[in-house]
Amino acid sequence: MVAIIAHRAGGSLAPENTLVAARKAHAVGADLWETDLAVTADDRLVLMHDDAMMRTTDVSDKFPDRVPAPFSMYTLAEIRSLDAGSWFERDDPFGQVAAGAIERRDLSSYIGEKVPTLREAFELTLELDWFLNLELKAQPKPKDAFDVVGAALSLADEVGIGPDHLLFSSSRHAWLKAVKRRRPDFEVQAVLGLLPEDPIDFSDPFFDTFNPRITRISIEQIEGQLALGTKINPYAVNDHETISRLVEIGITGLITDFPQRGAG
């Protein structure tokens, strides 16, 4: 069975990395959701992909004198004051608004959506009895030395979310090894090909699963690795033809912005 993983919570359905997007992805049958960990100036954990927040919030309107400062320069209160939903209709990142695939009432409800805390993400995952792939991202200064592994694991224990609802992924493979050293019961997935200079290397037996960027690897390479027993969840796979082909060759999972399309 192919696992459907909602990339950034399912960014074609609703504003990426928000709780409303996660709920939408769950409603259409995604097996789990993927999101990105960010650390605020006051050491709080939130969900955010881009270092600078202009694309997915109204930070340029709220704090015009501070952009493009990264999220690590803003407190939790400041980040929570931002509108992380109104941009979705305006920018229509995957053309779904223009295609009429998003209902007007949903678009209206996205206005004022907040940047979620990681605690909220954990709590929602438990509420839905669902599964979360938490990507541990490299943090911009001044949080570049922050112990994201320790902070994420501590919060997971505090909330009570464990390996039956949570796994960790990262392009920082040393962080995944740190997760395993502290908590060997958690699954870890190595992100490959995040940057052009990053190697696509499946040789490290330490990792449970590999998540290669789909534009950096061929279907034939994936098929060869699957034949060796490698578990692979490529990202971000959005077109029907590629999804169908990957399902055909027995892919482990698909990280996609279109969880509503299912496995083919």
pLDDT digits 0-9 by tens, 144-203: 999 999 999 999 999 999 999 999 999 999 999 999 999 999 999 999 999 888 899 999
> Mind listing the domains of the chain with CATH numbers?
3-50+116-261 (3.20.20.190)
Question: Over the chain, what is the mean pLDDT?
Answer: 97
C-alpha span between 85 and 97 (Å, rounded): 14
Residue 122 has pLDDT above 80, yes or no: yes
Mean pLDDT for the stretch of residues 27-37: 98
Q: Is the pLDDT of residue 124 over 90?
A: yes
Residue 57 has pLDDT above 80, yes or no: yes
CA–CA distance, 51 with 68 (Å, rounded to integer): 9
Q: What pLDDT sits at residue 196?
A: 87
Distance CA 155, CA 221 (A): 38
pTM of the model: 0.97
Phi, psi of 216 (to 5 degrees): -105, 5
Number of H helices, E strands in the chain: 10, 8
Above 80 in pLDDT, residue 263?
no
pLDDT, average across residues 213-222? 96
Q: Is 198 exposed, middle or buried (0-12, 13-18, 19+ CB in 10 A)?
A: middle
Residue 61 in this model has a pLDDT that exceeds 70: yes
Quote the pLDDT of residue 264: 59
